[in-house]
Structure formats: C-alpha cells, structure tokens
Structure 1
Amino acid sequence: MTVEIRTIPLPKTEPHEAVARILGSLTSHAEAAGQNFRYEEAVLEAWDGETYLGGLHARFMVDWVFVSLLATTEDARGQKVGSQLIEEIERLAREGGKIGVWLDTLSFQAPGFYAKQGYTEFGRIPDYPKGETHHFFAKRLDGRPLEDGLSG
C-alpha cells in the first residue's frame, strides 16, 4: 500500500455571523491579555491511488493544535494510515510554531493508538457515553513531558 497524505484546502468563507461575533470576542480578550488568538482549520486525507483510506480535521488555535476528527476506513486499520495522518498534523504544527497537539477519543475507539504515538492522557470523563470513558490526550512537540506545562 502506498499512502499519500493530501492537505485539503478549505473554502475561504466567512463564518456565520454568530460564530464571527464569538471569535471576535475571544480574539479581543486574548489580545487584551497579550495573547494571539488565531483560529485556522486543516483537513488531511489519506489515499492509495483512487482509494480513500481516512482523514483528519484539526483546529489551530493559540499555541496548540486540536485534532477534532480522525478516522480510517476499515480496510486501512492496522496499516499505519492513522499514524501517518498524526505525523503530518504534527509536522504542520511544528512548521506553524505550535507547542503541541491535543485530542480526545472514546474508550471503544483509540486510546491505545494515541499512547503508542507518544500522547499522554491528561483527563477523562466516565460514562461518556454511558458505560464508556471519554479520554483526553496531548503531546508536546518539543520533546518535554506534558507535565512540564501543567499547573495546579
């Protein structure tokens, strides 16, 4: 299998006026605190010729990247397609000067996969969905342990 990771350009549309107001408020608040609130999205897809293998959607905000969606097709599972998608978003995050990548997953999905990719679990919600667990993972891109940046 030859996997090609493609960056899918998103259409340049203005956000819904309600979303634009929310983003405007967040940006103003961040700037008042001396922070840069920049919001961008990225979509990656994995293909083997004409065969779709999976995709990833991420949001670049402030100094981190949040992977909101990652899925591979049934046939692509176990073929390192998910790993290649994660590696590419990490590369884009580094290129953009981001500190790290974070994401969430459910217990019946892929917590073990993210741990193998070097991600550290930093939180969970039990019974989300009922009988399962919602896991939160993050990875710093500077090689430092996640705990170095945690406070509290």
Structure 2
Amino acid sequence: MTEKAPPQKASGENIPAEETLSVVFHDLPRESPAVAAALGGEIAARFRPRDEAPFSIVAHDERSVLIGGLNGVVHWRWLYIRHLWVAQQRRGMGLGTALLQRAEDEARSRSCLGLYIDSFDPRAAALYERFGFTRFGEIADFPPGHSRMFFSKRLAPA
C-alpha cells in the first residue's frame, strides 16, 4: 500500500506539502530482521554494543529428569533472567532459590551491575522479593485478568 505522509519537523509541525514523502508500507507475518538490525546498529552506536552472552543452568534429579532451569543473557553488564522454571512437584523445596543464587554468582563472575526478571505469577514474585529483587513496574491486565511484574536487583560492588 502506498500512502502520502506529510513529513514532520522535530517539533511535530508539518513541513510544506511540496516536500511530502511517498511511503510504501509492508505488513509482514513475522519480525523483520532488517528493522532489528537497523535499530540494533543505532543503539550500539549510541550506547555501545550489547555484547550478549547467553547461558543456561539446568537441574536434573537422580534419574536425569529435568526438574528446573534458568535461561539468561548478560548484556550491558546486567543479567536478564529470561526463563526460570521449576517442576510443579519440586516447588517450595528451595530449587528456585538455588537457581537464582547460581544466576547471581554467574552475574558476579561476569562483573554485572545487577539482575532483572519479569513474571506473571504472584508466587514467583514473592520468591524474587525474598531473594532481594525490587519490583519496579507492572502492567495490569497483561495477560487479561493478571499482571506482568518487573523486578531488578542491583549487586553491591565486590
């Protein structure tokens, strides 16, 4: 679809119509790698490259059955915990705390400034707060009827 979009000055005012920009929009069924690369390049130029370093910690029982795990990534000297999962029958036994402690140890070994995580589950939120995370944001009704909560924990210098 081609549309004529009036260009905007930085202040939000329209610029003269003779300078109208012709724009072609494409609706894609997936994420555009070109947009991600363009934004990534601009962010890296402004704030330095992310230098992402992913890692995982997995926990198995004595029969090698997966009972918990954590996926994380370090960027800009912060560790983002993308996924933290403990098998239903193993919850309340300290495994989540042990995974968080190992993640914090990993963050310290990589000279991170802190850790951050998000959750939809109030029980997980309570665990994070007991572990020293501070809730810094929340989106109500995401997913509908629930909230997405955001937590961070700043690490003290060694």
Q: Same fold (TM over 0.5)?
A: yes
Paired residue total = 125
Provide runs of 4+ in structure 1 moved above 3 Å. 21-25
CA contact 1:106–1:133 (8 Å) conserved in 2? yes
> Given the alignment, which residue of 41, 44, 57 partners 2:54?
41
> Given the alignment, which residue of 55, 60, 67 partners 2:74?
60
CA contact 2:43–2:49 (8 Å) conserved in 1? no
Structure with greater Cα Rg? 2
The offset of 1:53, in angstroms, is 1.4
Unaligned runs of 5+ in 1: 1-16, 144-152
Residue 109 of structure 2 is matched in structure 1 by 95
Separation of aligned partners in 2, 1:34 and 1:136 = 23
- RMSD of aligned alpha carbons: 2.2
Tell whether 2:33 aligns with 1:18.
yes
The Cα offsets for residues 38-92 of structure 1, whole Å up to 9 and x where unpaired, read as 0121111112222321011111111111111111011210111011111111111
Residues 76/23 of structure 1: CA separation in 2 closer, same or farther (3 Å cut): farther
Q: What percentage of residue pairs aligned between the two structures are identical?
A: 26
User: Under a length normalisation based on structure 2, what TM-score does the superposition of the two structures give?
Assistant: 0.70
With a CA cutoff of 8 Å and minimum separation of 6, indicate the structure with the bigger relative contact order.
1
Opposite residue 60 of structure 2, the aligned amino acid is W
Opposite residue 53 of structure 1, the aligned amino acid is I
The offset of 1:127, in angstroms, is 0.4
2:100 match: secondary structure: helix
Separation of aligned partners in 2, 1:22 and 1:130 = 28
CA contact 1:108–1:132 (8 Å) conserved in 2? no
